[in-house]
Structure 1
Amino acid sequence: MQTPSTLQLVAAIVLTVTSVQAQTRPAKASSTAKVVFTPKLPEFTMSRAEVEGHMRFLASDELEGRRTGEQGNRVAARYIAEQFRQLGLKPAVTTDGQHDYLQPITFERVKAASTATMIVGKDTLQLGKDILVMAGGPTSLSGEVMYIGYGLTDGEDGYKGRDVKGRILIAQGGSPEAKSPREIFGASAAKRKLATEKGAAALIELYSEASPWGLVSQYLNREQMSIATPGASSTPIAHLWINNANNKYKQLKEAGQRITLQTSGRQRVSAVSSNVAGIIEGSDPKLKDEYVVLSAHFDHVGVGKQGGAPYQPADSIFNGARDNGIGTVAILEAAKALTLQRPSRSILVLALTGEEVGLQGSRYYAEHPLVPLKQTVFDLNTDGAGYSDTTVISIIGLERTGAKAEIEAGAKAFGLVVFAEPAPEQGLFDRSDNVNFAAKGVPAPDFAPGFKSFDAEIAKYYHQATDNPESLDFNYLLRFCQAYAHSARLIANRPTRPQWSAGDKYEAAAKALYGY
């Protein structure tokens, strides 16, 4: 659909939301009236109108899908920052003596390759069907290949004692440990970095991993974004994947094999986005030096072809109300409740960018934390694909991360039931921003809207142009925000830190981080 200019309408919508907030504040009592006060925590008096106002702005057409690096994403970040300012949160970012809520991140927007062919023996491999371009500029080369195993380390996997400068390297796809898409792509980036440092001409991986070729092909044949590496080469080496299903191209591991490669490469353009972070100081003199992070990603997938799913000409905007407008509104409402009555520990409220382009904002934060990770005792992330059951809240990592009792109590207070580990076959724990905290050792479950499986109701809205505010159950959204805020309060008030379950795969990282 045609949309008005973002900049023309932002001011009007912000004023509307601010007006709603003002209208929902309790009026001052008359000086002559007898008032009986019943103490209530602020989350119990949360306003549906305010929740709805935040959502209708953040998931509005004017923000054009909040895609990382685009204007709508920057407007959303500014809106969140000004909500933090209005609530009195302390800016978490200090640069050159200046304080701000925005943690800027420089991204590279990488366009999909338009052409690529590779000749292997008598076969001519084609872009999409047989090969995928991961990185590199326009390339035309021919020569003998060198097999380097996984190609992950300097001393092993075929590199040891060999000069690879100017050579075409063949590597086994993935790594012995890589199971999830995140781990596979991470291993691939590490291989490219090492091959580039060693002066190779090209890197080609033999892909035969669990994630279907069709899915990775669909993903890589559209625009990608990654965090720019300071001082990195402006044009990385040519890096491709070959569809090696059934070990079809195993001959490339043998000495003396030759290939011819031509590719348009992938054009790279700089783009800037920001995480948004504010601090609520804890009320306990001892515990206030420990932090509970409340995180949610505020980006979505954009407009039209950017969205990666079918759309109608009348509505090409992927509004992202469920994913992740719900989570973003939840951290805003929790910030207000916890400001009005501060918990024992300090709170870092963290709105993350770049989740939809590979969990990039949370990865950047984990490498550049605004409060020490050693003092960060928990991350209560909130993200989800949507909801299909308004009686429950779904928690990914409930049994693993040490705050089960507090989360269950937080949900129960608002008439909701906790459903643990929905859709286990999806590997959801490692598919949201919480995993970048977990990898550093911080206990980090995901607090998601209610669902038990990826059913038709979830699919109807997940990454679809139909995911707009008009389709939401705002009564459920209100209770979801209340349960999230109350759970956060209970966790921040715990006398002891939550800890990973014994034997969890992230327990070792926690021991290294916290020293226990």
Structure 2
Amino acid sequence: MQATPVSAFLIGLALTTTTLQAQTRTARPGSAPPRPYAAGTAVAGLPEFSISRAEVESQTRFLASDELQGRRTGEPGNQIAARYIAEQFRTLGLKPAGSADGQPSYMQPIGFEKVKAASSARMVLGKDTLRLGKELAVMSGGPIDVSGEVIYAGYGLTDGDDGYKRRDVKGRIVVVQGGSPDAKGPGEIFKASGSKRRLATEKGAAVLIELYSESIPWGFVNQYFSREQISLPAAGAGAASVAHLWVNNANNQYKQLKEAGQTVALSTSGRLRSPAPSANVAGIIEGTDPKLKDEYVILSAHFDHIGVGKQGGSPYQPTDSIFNGARDNAFGTVSILTAAKALMQQRPKRSVLVLALTGEEVGLLGSNYYAEHPLVPLKQTVFNLNTDGAGYNDTTIIAVIGLERTGAKAEIEAAAKAFGMSIFAEPAPEQGLFDRSDNVNFAVKGIPAPTFSPGFKAFDEAIGKYYHQAIDNPETLDFNYVLRFCQAYAHAARLIANRPTRPQWSAGDKYEAAGKALYGY
């Protein structure tokens, strides 16, 4: 499959999905027929039991098609995917949750920026010369050529004794320690780094140098920052972001940067920025219970993927440079569309916000933005059932990250059982998966938020073969399993939205305190 331009006909195709859904599909040779369900069961008459394989297959094939060019955030294929989802919501009758230009809209626009990699950077420190790609990584900021004395500000996270100590650093070169006292995983390290950059920008510093000696290997850091990235605009109305660099301080080799009176000379091309607009897509299904309809369950999945060619950051062949993202996460996006259809046909007691998120692959940015700019009050949001995954290696199970922590175990297990599957809880615990998908941005606000994933127990060869690889195409999916997964997800959403009581965090969970603060229990 060669990369081809995004064609205009796709927009028309997105607006006529009902035709696609009406088409019947022939099962792939060797594919098992859908598993039958017990006739006469109490739940068999619910709409999710009537979803067809043709529906989920046509939607998946569209979202993971070559023409959408890997759905990378800020690119045309991503925007077409968002429009497709919005028009599905319109067809189903969901209420627009957002607004654009003063009118109701399914879109929640986000003004991302595309950040080019730096082409040069050089820092002279005494007799040492540090260079881009070896000892230096440029995080942010425009071109700069500056020299002068450095000011060490501890971790650079506060104004207190371990921070700026109320010093005037306007126009100065500030040096800070990498990470934070609490940062352990990659996400926490990058989050702390962003907080330091915002504070240094607010204080008017010219340069922020971070002494990096964290757990992520420096080779990975160099590789990551040598690629184009997507980010939210720098904090502050029109404020130019400080020039921000990481210095490889393994073995504390540049500890002299912490010393008073130390001087450096620094020049860098910086990282040029340009607009890369995208949007979350959100629609509301109003609940039927007079009291419970004021509470919301969020059903979320990210619809973005990693793009084409070098954008993907993984090897590819000239004959197939498109990272289609069938498993990650066209699969999940179709799950929330399936749930939207089933829940609109027979609405649950609580209201449901169906939320397709952008920017997951570039740092969970769409869910981060939503959590800071919610379309329904967070205090009234009682649960987030996120769906995302790297792939599957067992079609008899559904993997749930956070099952034992988030208070809806019985409903999720019942939903899987209704479609002939079982639940495997907390797969691949060494991967820290709970904090690596969009659910974590809801969790940090206090909302119980597990992730409902295709069936796997470990990151084995079957997962690695497709995860973020150009081979992850619709043709490689077992659509009988995709159907049952989507149906089970929709049924779990219904059972949770109909619960008489709210799910709550397990006692002692690290997000329990945030839950208590949000809900006041």
TM-score (norm 2): 0.94
Aligned amino acid, residue 362 of structure 1? S
Corresponding residue of 1:30: none
Per the alignment, in what secondary structure is the counterpart of residue 295 of structure 1? strand
Task: Tell me which residue corresponds to 1:404.
Answer: 409
Q: 2:443 aligns with which of 422, 428, 438?
A: 438
Work out the CA distance in 2 between the residues paired with 1:5 and 1:263.
34
DSSP-derived class of the 1:348 partner: strand
- Contact between 2:2 and 2:322, CA under 8 Å: does it hold in 1? no
Q: Deviations over 1:246-276 (max 9, x none)?
A: 1111121111222221111000101110100
Kindly provide the amino acid, as one letter, of the partner of residue 255 in structure 2: K
- 1:326 maps to a residue whose letter is F
| Partner residue in 2 for 1:148 | 153
Whole-Å separation in 1 of the counterparts to 2:353 and 2:492: 15
Alignment-derived partner of residue 68 in structure 2: 63
Alpha-carbon distance in 1 for matches of 2:308, 2:403:
34
Q: How far apart, in 2, do the equivalents of 1:249 and 1:15 lie?
A: 58
- What is the alpha-carbon distance in structure 2 between the residues aligned to residue 49 and residue 8 of structure 1? 24
Residue of structure 1 equivalent to 2:241: 236
Report the Cα offset of residue 92 of structure 1. Answer: 0.6
Residue 6 (structure 1) aligns with: 6
Secondary structure of the 2:485 match is helix
Deviation at 1:338, TM superposition (A): 0.8
Structural mapping, 1:209-228, within 5 Å: 209-228=214-233
1:169 and 2:177 matched: no
> Is the aligned partner of 1:340 residue 2:314?
no
Residue 275 of structure 2: aligned partner? 270
Distance in 2 of aligned mates of 1:103 and 1:506: 27
Structure 2 SS opposite 1:355 = coil
Residue matched to 2:209: 204
Report the equivalent of 1:186: 191
Q: How many residue pairs align between the two structures?
A: 505
Cα distance, 1:15 vs structure 2: 6.9
Equivalent residue in structure 2 for 1:367, among 340, 364, 372: 372
Cα distance between partner residues in 2 of 1:96 and 1:226: 23
Letter in 2 for 1:54: Q
Q: Which AA in structure 1 matches 2:472?
A: D
Distance 1:190-1:276 versus aligned 2 partners, 3 A rule? same
Residue 130 of structure 1 and its aligned partner are, at CA, apart by 1.1
3-state SS in 2 of match to 1:349:
strand
SS at match of 1:40: coil
Q: How does 1:37-52 map to 2 (within 5 A)?
A: 40-52=45-57
Q: 2-side partners of 1:184 and 1:200: how far apart?
A: 21
Find the residue that maps to 1:163 and give its secondary structure. Answer: coil
Query: Cα 1:37–1:415, aligned 2, differ >3 Å: closer, same or farther?
Result: closer
Q: Which residue of 1 aligns with 2:143?
A: 138
Aligned residue for 1:104, secondary structure, equals strand
Partner in structure 2 of residue 288 of structure 1: 293
2 CA distance for matches of 1:410 and 1:158?
50
Q: Residues 67-116 of structure 1: CA distance to partner in whole angstroms, max 9, x if unpaired?
A: 11110000000000000000011111135651110110001111110111
Q: What's the CA shift string for 1:144-187, capped at 9, x where partnerless?
A: 21111001011232411422222211100011111122211111
**SS of structure 2 residue aligned to 1:310:** coil
- Cα separation, 1, equivalents of 2:2 and 2:132: 34
Residue 198 of structure 1 deviates from its aligned partner by 1.6
Q: Which runs of 5+ in 1 are unaligned?
A: 25-35
**Match runs of 1:363-402 below 5 Å:** 363-402=368-407
Secondary structure, counterpart of 2:111 in structure 1: strand
Is the CA contact (8 Å cut-off) linking 1:93 and 1:100 kept in structure 2?
Answer: yes
| AA at the equivalent of 2:164 | Y
Give the 3 Å change call, closer, same or farther, for CA 241–229 of structure 1 in structure 2: closer
**What letter is aligned with 1:160?**
K
Partner of 1:418: 423
Q: What SS does the corresponding residue of 1:6 show, helix, strand or coil?
A: coil
- Residues 367-390 of structure 1 show CA distances to partners (whole Å, capped at 9, x for unaligned) of 111111111000000001111111
Show the counterpart of 1:468: 473
The one-letter amino acid paired with 2:9 is L
Q: Tell me by how many angstroms 1:16 deviates.
A: 7.1
Residue 73 of structure 1: aligned partner: 78
The residue that corresponds to 2:129 in the other structure is 124
Residue 113 (structure 2) aligns with: 108
Counterpart of 2:369 in 1: which secondary structure?
A: helix
CA distance in 2, matches of 1:158, 1:309: 39
Look up the SS of the partner of 1:75 in the other structure: helix
Q: Judging changes above 3 Å, is the alpha-carbon distance between structure 1 residues 247 and 282 closer, same or farther for their aligned structure 2 residues?
A: same
Report if the CA contact (8 A) 1:17-1:50 is conserved.
no
- In structure 2, C-alpha distance between the alignment counterparts of 1:228 and 1:134, rounded to whole Å: 14
* Distance in 1, Cα, partners of 2:114 & 2:77: 16
Partner of residue 486, structure 2: 481
The 8 Å contact of residues 381 and 445 in structure 1, kept in 2 or not, is answered as: yes
Please tell me whether the aligned partners of residues 133 and 265 of structure 1 are also in contact (alpha carbons under 8 angstroms): yes
1:20, CA displacement in angstroms? 3.6
Contact 1:9 1:62 in 2 (8 A): no
TM-score using structure 1 length? 0.95
* Fraction of identical pairs, as percent: 74
Q: Confirm or deny: 8 A CA contact 2:138 2:246 kept in the other structure.
A: yes
Partner amino acid, structure 2, of 1:369: P
Amino acid corresponding to residue 330 of structure 1 in structure 2:
S
For residues 405 and 282 of structure 2, the distance between their equivalents in structure 1, rounded to whole angstroms, comes to: 26
CA distance in 2, matches of 1:224, 1:3: 21
64-73 or 412-421: which moved more? 412-421
Q: Distance in 2 between matches of 1:132 and 1:312?
A: 28
Q: Deviations over 1:44-70 (max 9, x none)?
A: 121001000000100000000001111
Code of the aligned partner of 1:480 = F
Residue 515 of structure 1 pairs with residue 520 of structure 2: yes
Which residue in 1 is equivalent to 2:97?
A: 92
